[in-house]
Amino acid sequence: MRSPPGPRRPVPARLVAAAVLLSALAAGAAAGAAVAGDGYGRGRRLYMRNKVLEMFYHAYDNYITYAFPHDELKPLTKSFTDSLSNLTEFERGVLWLSENLTFDVDARINLFECNIRLLGGLISGHILAKEHSSHLKDGPYQDQLLHLAENLGSRFLPAFETPTGLPYAWINLKYGVMENETTETSTSGCGSLILEMGALSRLTGDSRYEAAALRALRKLWSMRSSLNLVGTTLDVLTGKWIEYSSGIGAGVDSFYEYLIKAYVLFGSEEYWDMFHSAYLAVQKYHEADMRTGEATHWQLTSLQAFWPGLQTLLGDVAAANISHREFYNVWQRFGVLPERYLLNFGMLHPTEKYYPLRPEFAESTFYLYQATKDPWYLEVGEAIIGSLNYYTKVDGGFASVRDVSTMKLEDHQHSFFLSETCKYLFLLYDDSFLRNQNYIFTTEGHPLPIRSTWHEIIPTTHVPSNWTFSVGSPWESACHVPDVLPTHRCRTDDDCGVEAVSCRRRTCSMAGYCGLWLGVY
């Protein structure tokens, strides 16, 4: 690999994500594959782990060769788009960033994307460097990444200077909010900042970052409907909704994710209260008009595939299993997960047939295996890895799929393929990185350690009953009828029960599992 040369210039978010991933991979590689008594087999586990490593380095080496230090690789033409094999490589990344990275640039950036990619990557990279006592060629690690993160975070703060406290979606890193800047933002854009900015406040002792993110989150939650649903887009100056569609897909997804993860990371009951109400509402209404609860779409999207992982983190494993199998049915039908599948028509969306190597389904598969140790999820991982190598691997890396019905490729390897897709697949087969420390992963896959010193109140360990739980007492659904077998296996529909929230009857799939299959075959 060539060393990163060149003058001092803005670094792409891509490099930070890769550097953090490399540290995680190095930790796993040093310890060797974990051996679990799940019947999967050590040799098979090692083989799959190494297959993921091969995928990662094929994509990463081509990025370094043909695209570094630009944002992303074009793997078909081996060029770049503008928009680390062991710990030594991670150290090289830290050195390059500390010597070349500056945020004092006249550049208009998206606050949400820059927060989850750059700020999250710098914070996580700093924590990993401290935990692994990294020594650089010029001496011990001296918090270089944290200093960069604080510099970047301070440039975010002007975006929050609105009458509502809701931040602008776009900001200039050098000059702040520009004249005539758009006032429209998404629910995710202003409700998914608390992990990174909260962690920055705890690491620096400067409360401004967390206070700004929390004020925005509280304002957003105050805008919910009487059904406890939130919309998709809103105006940051007026605090009025622009788009009333509610759901768990694009524009809203990470809002739910950050509520439950903020509760785990920081321990505040406020986050739990918001999440619990929001979760119950969206489980009941699914995709609907936030004002009336009337259904708006009946679809599966690739971004929604994070939901089973969130349900697993919550402890609602039975519901997560049902959700996950719906996505897997669609994956099996096409070989990958299309961006949007119309359930009511049993067909692909006419213009959203692509698959950009998204990580959400792999992420949920990882969470479910961690919770259940069911080797079936390892076999799902094999299917994902097999599809990625068969359909998307090219000489220059891994290419996105333009149309899943023809498997025609497009010249784009997104940064999240390295920072998330490969990471979760690797951890599925080798979780030794997680053995001695509990982590929360941000929506961009950056690990943040769970520390009691960061907690306002250390959450009580909850034992879920039925499909979900509340603090201190089980939440039981009046209509819930459990499946005959606790494994959810079935031979006929009579072996399946009634789903807890929607009160809909589950049916037996062709694979022999109970679920709300919605006719996806």
Tell me the binding residues for Ca(2+).
443
Three-state secondary structure along 247-270? Answer: CCCCCCHHHHHHHHHHHHHHCCHH
> Positive or negative CA dihedral for 339, 344, 348, 351?
negative
> What is the Cα–Cα distance from 164 to 411, expressed in whole angstroms?
41
Strand pairing partners for 140?
Answer: 135
> Are the beta carbons of 83 and 25 closer than 8 angstroms?
no
> Which structure tokens are listed for 369?
């295996």
> Are the beta carbons of 108 and 174 closer than 8 angstroms?
no
Strand pairing partners for 180?
Answer: none
- The angle subtended at Cα 279 by Cα 121 and Cα 497, nearest 5°, is 125
Question: What does each C-alpha distance from 475 to 307, 367, 374, 480, 499 come to in angstroms?
Answer: 20, 23, 26, 11, 14
Describe the strand order of the beta sheet including 299-301 as a list of residue ranges: 299-301, 340-342, 347-348
CB burial class (10 A; 0-12, 13-18, 19+) of residue 467?
Answer: buried
38, 113, 352, 411: which one is catalytic? 113
89, 196, 287, 339: which one is catalytic? 339
Closest to 318 measured CA to CA, from 471, 497, 509:
497
**DSSP for residue 450:** -
The H or E element that residue 383 is part of is helix 375-387
Strand pairing partners for 413?
Answer: 73
Residue the block writes with tokens 């992990």? 195
Annotated active-site residue 360? The verdict is yes
> Which structure tokens are listed for 145?
């990444």
Query: Residue 10: left (phi > 0), alpha (psi -120 to 50), or beta?
Result: beta
Torsion, CA 17, CA 253, CA 305, CA 434, rounded to 10 = 50
71, 150, 210, 253: which one is catalytic? 253
> Are the beta carbons of 253 and 303 closer than 8 angstroms?
yes
> Are the beta carbons of 16 and 125 closer than 8 angstroms?
yes
Annotated active-site residue 411? The verdict is no
**DSSP for residue 171:** E
91, 210, 257, 360: which one is catalytic? 360
Q: DSSP characters for 185-220?
A: EEHHHHHS-HHHHHHHHHHHS-THHHHHHHHHHHHH
Instruction: Detail the residues annotated as belonging to a binding site.
Output: 443
Annotated active-site residue 253? The verdict is yes
3-state secondary structure of 142: coil
> Which structure tokens are listed for 424?
């979760």
Catalytic residues: 113, 253, 339, 360
